Structure formats: structure tokens, C-alpha cells
Chain A
């Protein structure tokens, strides 16, 4: 009996290690997808010769308590190189946020452009998708898009999207979003790289499989399509990912562009607390989407599997991150056979490979943005690798806990002067 339990424990342990390795390897594959073959290099291309502006855009700027940056954001969006007649900028605020409203009104007054509009709503729920849905009602552009309050879109982004949408028969374009403050806090390195790999590489894999959880901003969707889809899901905490899955369900043609030049620049959350809150919201949103079970309607098994993987990933990662110390402790404390000990190290080897890939990613990121490589930063990245996983694990557990408690309120992540509209 004892041996039977022991055997079962060993088998379970091996299974966990195996799943861990497979997950790590698959994750590495996602991260390296764009570098897998030379042909994949062209997937990210943005046009350089622009067509004449033809599509009109409605740019939605949802904001809440963004007094510090909102004027600048509106100014930046208004300054985009595109005919102003073809741009409608809708700042979305709630009536209980007078500070931001005043800021918006001030800049609207300064700009003196009736294309810049302020939408003030007073009902519930108080969240981003609701504001967006209201803005969608009054949007007049051919294409709707969202920019968050702290975003810095590239001045030519609308020309790029205009050209792409005219040249290629696409219904939606996800342009790259990139966190830029890679070295402000210790967790910033990995957060920045996460964005880097996610938008530059993984998105293309998702797009190839046909299951694309979109990013929260710089997503350009044809307004008609957006209306047919019925707007954003107001009950979902990650309406962007939900929208992506629904776009895939309706077989929308999606194009992913990540050109280092044209990325929309963002900032990481300012403190660990905010970072965890932001992650918690994302993870909880993923749990919501998972439980909404719309992804089960995806046609192919590969799509469903990928959807399940992406949605459940935070929980898996949390589980693994918690398991690593346990596994190490077991190696030290429990006398295990040599082969089993070696087998457990397989997972560690996979993690180390991911770490090295991250280091190379850092180098690539710095080169793309003409920044200097620093060995000190590389060391910080290496040291932060496992603590970062635990941060993710913590936010994932917190998300599970909140989901079970039924807490679905919008935990906004305010920044000090870098506030985000989420």
C-alpha cells in the first residue's frame, strides 16, 4: 500500500514536471515565433509609403482620474499626422470625475476643434467598456480605436493603419503596444519584455491559429464590425481580450503590426501594488472569459486549445511558481533517486532557457529603441526573474480569490502622473 502511494506520488510529480516543461517550452516557442523562420520576419511589417488619407477614425480616450496627463494625451492624439476632418476624438469621462472633465474641457477649448469631443456619462457600470460603448454610439469614423491616457502613439500611426486597411482586406488591426520604462523598477524589465514578446511575436502565432486575445489599446476595428459585434462586454474586466475572441468567432480578418517604430508607448505601473492590481484585473478578466465559455464555440480544436491555454495560463504559472521552491526543498530534504532528481531539473533548465531568451530580448529591445546595453540591468533582470514569477503568481491567486468572492469591481491602476485609463 505504501509503495503504491509512493508510486502514485512519483508519477504525479513527474507529470507535473513534464507539464511544467511543456508549458515553458511552448511559452518559449510563442516568444520566439517571429524569429523561428526568416519568412516570419515579414509578418510585422508596417507600410512606409502611405496612401492618401481616406478612412476616418474615431479615437476614444477613456479616462478616469487622469488630471495629470489627460491634457497632454488629448494634445498628442490630436497632433497625429492625419487630416483633422477625418478624425473624431472622444474623451470619455464620468460625471463624478470633475477634475479630468475640466482638464478635457480646457484642452478642447484650446484646440478649438469640434472634432475633439468630450463624452460625459453618469450611469453604471463605471468602467472602461461602458464608456467605450457609449462613445461607440456617437462615433462617426470608419474605424474606431482606443488610446489609454498615458499612451504615446506614433505620429504616423493613423496613416499606417489607413494604408494597411486599404491595402489589405482586414477588419481589425492590432498595432504594437510597448512599455518603454524598462529600467525604472526591478519588475519593469520583465514586464517590458513581456509586452515586447507578446505583441511582436506571440500575437502572430495567435493570429495564425485564429485565436487572438487583443491588447487594450491601439486596436483599430471597423466601426460597422464593432457595432455588429455589439460593442464591448461591459461585464468583463478585460474587454479587450474578450473582443479579440469575439472577433475570431466572427472570422474577422485581423492583422498584427509590430514595427518598433510605430509602437504605442506606454509605461509600466508605478508601484508593485499597482502592478499586482493591474495583473489581478487582467487575470480575473481572463477567468471571466473562461467561464463565459464563448471560446468553446471556436471552430477548430487548436483554436479552443490555445484559447484555453491563454486564459488558464496565469493560474498555471502561479501553480508552477509556487511549486519551484517546493520542488527545490524536496530535492534537498527528501532522498529521491538520481534519475528523478535529474528529471526535476529539466524544468529548471527550461526556465533558465526562458531567462536567456529574455536577456536576448532585452538586447533586441534596447537595440530597436537605440538604448544602451548595460550589464548591471542584465543582472537586475536575472535577479528579478523568479521574484517576478512570484508577483505574477500572487496576482493570479488574488484574482482567483476575488473571482470566488464575486468581487468584480474595476480596480483601477492609477499612476502618479502616468495614470492609465484602464
Chain B
């Protein structure tokens, strides 16, 4: 009987788990007497190849002694490890004592046992050189050597079955053995032979052979290993160090401010900003055509269309999709007129933007007081108080731009943040396409905030996500078959349609007659001269200072790239300044931080910077707030609401009314007008579409002013109608043939608002009549 091979791993596992797993020279895997019977434990010595002490090698060495020929010291000398004997010698000596503790197991004697390699036989004789862990002998050890001796056939069978190490030719039945026991095949010595495989190596007389070890057996048990994977510490370094240093702004800690104080100040300022923006929100400024357009588009989204009229690709729809989500959550008419609902949402966006300006400035400049200045400047400027109330795509885009900026700034080089920033930036561009001009500067900012190690992947991801989101706008046009102009007569174009390329080509060619940079500049200057002035000065300062501090450069580039867009010579409305406002505030905050820092260093008063900033804040805030509140106290919306009520009260419901966009939803949707449900005017149409949409002008109205019943006009409408002669002829004619029924007037900060309601004097009965509507029964016609 041989050692059962299944027993071995069991014992080994046990002893292994008892032993410390530290890898130390000469102590690791030192074999204890208890492990001796383990045949698998033998040849794992890793540490000491000293031929004198390491039994593994001593065995081989003894083999070489026997062989004639030059001694080739392949080992030894190279490793300087303690040449301690691995085991206490007294206990383990061969062969006077049995090799193995168990009485039954003993090395077979040279005469009787299965034949061993001469090297092993030598080992037996070397009493002083203990080789307890040299397991090959134990492999061949049998429980009862005697029985094997007696049965020659048994021995032969065993010899065939059992693995034999260092074995020569198979022993014959009589047990005769040859002295030259090494099995050499083709000049290669066979180290190990089993029925199914054999191991060969080179044969050189006098060469030291390395021992093999015995099989462990095939099991499917799980090893017991200490689970310290997570605690391991890598102390190593590589030659090619990845560059992972980050650009962190030093915090200026002149005034240690506790978090609660900071939060309290922030919340107070934020609440003030929200109040300033919410003050008289539904009355000032007057509803504009743009606000009405976006609200009616948002409503169209809720019924599954991109706009109530054919969508002309003027702006990507993401802005009013957000509005649509809001009016789905709230209610279109919860705050009175439909536009009021949108203004509530703008309030939320501006509050979020204000908070983000603070957080960005604090992270970029490392100064809380500078961040407060930036935030106050952004929130309380009369320009922002007026413009941020209006339901404008720029307001939506600005929030997402700031979010992208914030995510980049706080990313600490995390890819996930950059991906988030790219998503926000994409949404900003999809809300208002002009945000795209900030993409290069933002990419540069991202470049600054990512470590060189990650830069390549991070920037490609960032740019890709942004561009991919923008491209969905083009994809949408492509899928709708409205990307290319109909004028190109592409093979699949069967009917006339609007086209994205047409629209943008038109916008690029658009002259400055609708609004020029200089005109708008005059308004900005008039509203908030300090901000407008600083809006140029601070980016230029930061551009110069950017030579030293790259983050200033990035901020300056952000503001300047947008200034360049405005100054390029195209149409510039007053509200185009909106995305620039936070950028100006940030630039001013950082520039002031640096300038006052120099000043305080000059005066050798470290706290002076913060004090001066707070002083500035206390001056700026009341000045701005009072100015803004004074402006915002006008009530121009009153005239528009009166006109609306008058229409509802006096006009027949199936009348064909030409209106401006801000009345569209209030007239066409069942709104609550006070306690009653307001009447619905199904044939109220927006003047711009009446004049330009062929399906309305030629289709519904047959290009005849006679089919129009009423017109509700304001100043801008009149200007448009009279300015665009060929397209608006039908409306001009209608106006000429109409009588004024009512007029409404209100004072506004920008100039007064006048709404007039005209009735067309029909030459003959209008040809066009809508089919009977639900309201027909109540018609007062």
C-alpha cells in the first residue's frame, strides 16, 4: 500500500493554515517533523540551495559524487542565504532511525526495496545530512517492505503502477538490479516515469539533477486561503510613472469660516436672490413673442408634436421639452397665464445657476468671499433680474452650461464627472444652439482638470458625448427627411418641406436689422454699466494673468469666445447676454480675488483681501438690488391681460383671430379665468405663421385678407407686418380693412405697451368657415 494520494493535501492544508504565511528567507515553509509523513510537502524548499544544508540539493550532490566525470557546480555561491540547517538534526536523521515517524513507513533498504536511483541510495547512507523533506523516497516507501519482498509478482505489478523516481530499468522478478540504474533514452535521463507519462532531462555524467516531487492528486476542493486581498499594500513602483498630478487651487485660509456660517451666508444670499427674481414675476417684464413661442411649443410636446405649427428647426427642441416636463408636472394654467408657469421654471433655473456660480467660483478661486462677490454680481445685476425672468432658451442653456462647468471644476479628474459634464453641455447646446461656441474653451478647462494619465481617454469621451448629443438634432432632421433643402430636389424628396440647412443658412445670412450688437450694447450699458464694463475688463485681466494660472485663462477664454460670437456682426438681441452673465461674474470674482490678494500682500495684511471683498459685496448688493427692484416694479403685463380678458368676453369663439404667440395657449386651451372655465378659440392663429406658413395662408385663408375676422396687435407685430412686405401683404391688407375695437395701455420700463384689437370689415361673407365646433351652440356670432 502506498500513501493514499488523497490524504496528502488534507494534511498539508491543515499545516499550511497553521503556519504564518509571511515569506521570509529560510523560515517560510520550514518543515516540521509533524509534516514529515506528508509526501507532498517534500520538495517545496525555496530558500536555501546550499548543498550542505538543503537536503534537496544534497541528494543531487551525492549523486554527482558517484558519477565519474567533472563536477559541475551548477548551484551554490549565487545566493547568500543563511546556511542554517532547515531542521533540527537530532530528530531527523537517516537512516538509522526510520525516515518517517510512523513505524510502518521506512525507506526500503538497498537490497530489498524497489530500486532507487544511486543518488537516493547514497542519501540513505549520509546520516549527517538529513533529508527529511526529500520526498521521493517516501513515494516509494511501502507500508510493508517485507510483503513486497516476498511477492515478486506484486513488486513487478507495483513497479508498473506506481510512480517511480530516479528509476532505472524495471526490476525483474528475481529482484536483480543493475548498478547503473539511470534510465537513459536517446541521451536523456528519465527522471520520473508513470504509466501515462514520463519526465526527461539532459544527461551529463556528473551533473547535478534536481529532484522532482510527488503528485498531489486531483481533487476539486477549495483551497483555504486567508482573505486579505483588499488589505494588501502595493509598495512598488514602475519605471514609467503615470502622471497623475492634479491642478488643485490652493485654498486661501485667511479667515477660517466654519461650514455652518458659510452655508448660512450662502442660503441668505440665495434666498435674497430668489426673492429679487420672484418679485413682481408675473407682471414684469411684458410677455414677449419668444416666451409665447416656447410655451406653445412646450404644450405641443405634451400632445406629441414639436410645435403647434410646422417645426422650422429654428432652435433644437430640448429647451421646451424641459418646459413640457414642467407643465406636465405642474399645470399649464396653475399660475394664471401659461407664460407664468414657464417663468416659475426660469426662477428655479436662475436659483440653481446662482448656487452653481458660487460653487464654481469657490472651487476655482479657492476663496469664499470672492465666490460670494461672483454670486451676488450674477444674481443681483439688473440685467439678470430683468432677463432671467423671461421664458427664454438662453436661461435654460445657461443653467446647463454652469452645471457642466461645475462638474468639470469639481471632477478631481474623475471620468464619470467629465461624462456628466459632457451630458450637461450637450443638453445646453440642445437647449440653445449658440452654447456650442463655448465647447472649445470648456474642453480646455476639462483638459486642465484631468491628469495627463487619463487625458486622452477623458477628452475623447467628453468631446464625443457632447458632439453626439448635438448631433441628435441633425439626426432628427435626417430621420424626418428635413435635413436637406427641398430646393436640392433629392430623389426621395417628394413634397416641399422646411429644412434644417435652409434655416441655418438663413440665420447666418440674417442682417442686423432685427437687433445689432451696438444697440444691445447700449441697452446693457444703460441697465448695468459696471457689469458691462467689468464684463470686458475682467476677462482681459484673466487672459493676461492666465499666463501664470491656467484656470484664469480658461475662464477668460470662455467669456471672450462668447463676446466674439456677439461681436461677429450678426443679429444680437438684448437677451443674448444671458449666458455671458455668469461667465462675467466668475471672471470678476477671480480677477478681484487676485487683485485684492496682491493688495493685501502689499499691505502685509492677509485678511485685508477678504475684508475688502466683503466690503465690496455690501456696497454692490444694495446698489444692484435697489436698482433692479425699481425697474421690476412696472406692470406691463396688465395691458396684455386686459386685452386677453376683453377677447374672451367679447369675441365669438369660432372667429378667425390673428394674435401674437403669448396669447396662443390662453386662447386655445381651456384656461381658468378666475372662477369660470375660459372659452376656447379654436381658430386663433399666430400672425407670423398666418403670413409665412403656406398651408395656412394659401390653404386655409386662400390668401385672402377677407377670411380674417379679428387682429390683436401690439407694437412689435405692427413693426413686423409693415417691415416684411412680400410675405405679410395679407395682414397688411387685413389691417387696412379693419376698425379698431379696443386699445389697452400699460407703462413699462423699456417703453410703454399698447395692444389694439381690430375687426376686419368683410367685403363679402368669408369663404372660409370652420366646420361646426363644439362651441357652436354657445356662439354669440
**In the complex, A42 Cα to B243 Cα: how many Å?**
10
Query: How far in angstroms is the closest Cβ of chain B from A336?
Result: 9
B461 and A32 contact, CB distance less than 8 A:
yes
**In the complex, A396 Cα to B311 Cα: how many Å?**
46
B238 and A134 contact, CB distance less than 8 A:
no
Interface check A374, CB cutoff 8 A? no
Query: How far in angstroms is the closest Cβ of chain B from A61?
Result: 13
**In the complex, A414 Cα to B725 Cα: how many Å?**
80
Q: A83-B78, A114-B207, A250-B222 are in contact. Are A137 and B215 (CB under 8 A)?
A: yes
Q: How many A-B residue pairs have CB under 8 A?
A: 261
Chain B residue nearest to A228 (CB atoms) is B223
**In the complex, A111 Cα to B200 Cα: how many Å?**
14
Query: How far in angstroms is the closest Cβ of chain A from B236?
Result: 3
Query: How far in angstroms is the closest Cβ of chain A from B203?
Result: 8
B195 surroundings in chain A (CB, below 8 A): 123
A166 surroundings in chain B (CB, below 8 A): 23
B78 and A85 contact, CB distance less than 8 A:
yes
- CB-CB contacts below 8 Å: B217-245 with A: 217-229, 232-240, 242, 244
Query: How far in angstroms is the closest Cβ of chain A from B230?
Result: 9
A52 and B44 contact, CB distance less than 8 A:
no
A35 surroundings in chain B (CB, below 8 A): 415, 453-454, 457-458
B189 surroundings in chain A (CB, below 8 A): 114
Query: How far in angstroms is the closest Cβ of chain B from A40?
Result: 9
**In the complex, A254 Cα to B29 Cα: how many Å?**
21
**In the complex, A137 Cα to B214 Cα: how many Å?**
6
Q: A35-B453, A85-B75, A254-B229 are in contact. Are A260 and B240 (CB under 8 A)?
A: yes
Chain A residue nearest to B23 (CB atoms) is A166
B240 surroundings in chain A (CB, below 8 A): 259-261
Q: A35-B453, A38-B451, A105-B188 are in contact. Are A117 and B201 (CB under 8 A)?
A: yes
Of A268-276, A305-313, A338-346, A379-387, which stretch is located at the interface?
A: A338-346
Interface check A86, CB cutoff 8 A? yes
Of B90-98, B472-480, B665-673, which stretch is located at the interface?
A: B472-480
B229 surroundings in chain A (CB, below 8 A): 170, 210, 251-254
Of B9-17, B140-148, B436-444, B536-544, which stretch is located at the interface?
A: B9-17
- CB-CB contacts below 8 Å: A45-91 with B: 45-49, 52-56, 83-86, 88, 90
A230 and B218 contact, CB distance less than 8 A:
yes
Of A322-330, A352-360, A405-413, which stretch is located at the interface?
A: A352-360
Identify B202's interface contact among A111, A170, A227, CB under 8 A: A111
**In the complex, A120 Cα to B246 Cα: how many Å?**
56
Interface check A148, CB cutoff 8 A? no
Query: How far in angstroms is the closest Cβ of chain A from B356?
Result: 23
Q: A36-B414, A224-B12 are in contact. Are A113 and B202 (CB under 8 A)?
A: yes
Identify B188's interface contact among A108, A210, A224, A253, CB under 8 A: A108
Q: A140-B211, A352-B468 are in contact. Are A117 and B25 (CB under 8 A)?
A: no
**In the complex, A167 Cα to B237 Cα: how many Å?**
12
**In the complex, A47 Cα to B235 Cα: how many Å?**
8
A138 and B461 contact, CB distance less than 8 A:
no
B21 surroundings in chain A (CB, below 8 A): 169
Query: How far in angstroms is the closest Cβ of chain A from B313?
Result: 14
A39 surroundings in chain B (CB, below 8 A): 244
B464 surroundings in chain A (CB, below 8 A): 352-353, 356
Interface check B697, CB cutoff 8 A? no
B475 and A134 contact, CB distance less than 8 A:
no
Interface check A389, CB cutoff 8 A? no
- CB-CB contacts below 8 Å: B30-49 with A: 40, 43-44, 46-47, 49
Chain A CB within 10 A, most for which of B46, B57, B207, B458: B46
**In the complex, A120 Cα to B198 Cα: how many Å?**
5
Interface check A279, CB cutoff 8 A? no
Interface size band for A: 35 or more
Q: A47-B236, A170-B232 are in contact. Are A116 and B202 (CB under 8 A)?
A: yes
B188 and A118 contact, CB distance less than 8 A:
yes
Query: How far in angstroms is the closest Cβ of chain B from A332?
Result: 11
A56 surroundings in chain B (CB, below 8 A): 46
A48 and B237 contact, CB distance less than 8 A:
yes
**In the complex, A203 Cα to B468 Cα: how many Å?**
29
Identify B460's interface contact among A121, A168, A357, CB under 8 A: A357
B223 and A356 contact, CB distance less than 8 A:
no
Considering only CB atoms and an 8 Å cut-off, how many residues of chain B contact the other chain?
A: 94
**In the complex, A90 Cα to B234 Cα: how many Å?**
31
A37 and B414 contact, CB distance less than 8 A:
yes
Q: A41-B244, A47-B237 are in contact. Are A252 and B225 (CB under 8 A)?
A: yes
A128 surroundings in chain B (CB, below 8 A): none
| Per-position 1/0 for B176-195, Cβ under 8 A of A | 00000000001111011001
B23 and A54 contact, CB distance less than 8 A:
yes
Interface check B773, CB cutoff 8 A? no
Interface check B59, CB cutoff 8 A? no
A45 and B237 contact, CB distance less than 8 A:
yes
Interface check B199, CB cutoff 8 A? yes
Query: How far in angstroms is the closest Cβ of chain A from B190?
Result: 10
Query: How far in angstroms is the closest Cβ of chain B from A412?
Result: 19
B43 surroundings in chain A (CB, below 8 A): 140
A321 surroundings in chain B (CB, below 8 A): none
Interface check A112, CB cutoff 8 A? yes
A138 and B9 contact, CB distance less than 8 A:
no
| Per-position 1/0 for A165-181, Cβ under 8 A of B | 11111110000000000
B239 surroundings in chain A (CB, below 8 A): 48, 259, 261
A251 and B460 contact, CB distance less than 8 A:
no
A360 and B457 contact, CB distance less than 8 A:
yes
Interface check A44, CB cutoff 8 A? yes
Query: How far in angstroms is the closest Cβ of chain B from A145?
Result: 14
Query: How far in angstroms is the closest Cβ of chain B from A337?
Result: 9
Interface check B621, CB cutoff 8 A? no
B221 surroundings in chain A (CB, below 8 A): 228-230
Interface check B644, CB cutoff 8 A? no
| Per-position 1/0 for A88-127, Cβ under 8 A of B | 1010000000000000010011011111111111110000
Interface check A231, CB cutoff 8 A? yes
B204 surroundings in chain A (CB, below 8 A): 112, 114
Interface check A133, CB cutoff 8 A? yes
B163 surroundings in chain A (CB, below 8 A): 137
Interface check B661, CB cutoff 8 A? no
Interface check A142, CB cutoff 8 A? yes
Interface check B416, CB cutoff 8 A? yes
- CB-CB contacts below 8 Å: B479-496 with A: 479-480
Q: A32-B415, A122-B196, A123-B197 are in contact. Are A168 and B456 (CB under 8 A)?
A: no
| Per-position 1/0 for A267-292, Cβ under 8 A of B | 00000000000000000000000000
**In the complex, A84 Cα to B44 Cα: how many Å?**
16
B214 surroundings in chain A (CB, below 8 A): 137
**In the complex, A115 Cα to B454 Cα: how many Å?**
44
Chain B residue nearest to A123 (CB atoms) is B196
B212 and A138 contact, CB distance less than 8 A:
yes
Q: A41-B453, A83-B79, A112-B204 are in contact. Are A168 and B232 (CB under 8 A)?
A: yes
B191 surroundings in chain A (CB, below 8 A): 117, 138
Interface check B413, CB cutoff 8 A? yes
Chain B residue nearest to A121 (CB atoms) is B197
A85 and B74 contact, CB distance less than 8 A:
yes
Chain A residue nearest to B460 (CB atoms) is A360
Chain B CB within 10 A, most for which of A38, A116, A136, A223: A38
B476 and A171 contact, CB distance less than 8 A:
no
Interface check B210, CB cutoff 8 A? yes
| Chain A to chain B: the 5 pairs with minimum beta-carbon distance, closest first | A47-B236, A137-B215, A121-B197, A227-B216, A228-B223
Q: Other CB < 8 Å A-B pairs besides A120-B199, A171-B225, A357-B461, 8 of them?
A: A38-B246, A45-B238, A85-B79, A109-B188, A119-B198, A140-B212, A251-B225, A356-B461
Can you offer 21 A-B residue contacts whose CB atoms are under 8 A? A35-B453, A36-B454, A42-B244, A44-B238, A47-B237, A48-B239, A54-B25, A84-B74, A117-B200, A117-B201, A119-B198, A120-B199, A133-B218, A138-B191, A165-B23, A223-B44, A228-B9, A229-B222, A230-B219, A250-B224, A261-B239
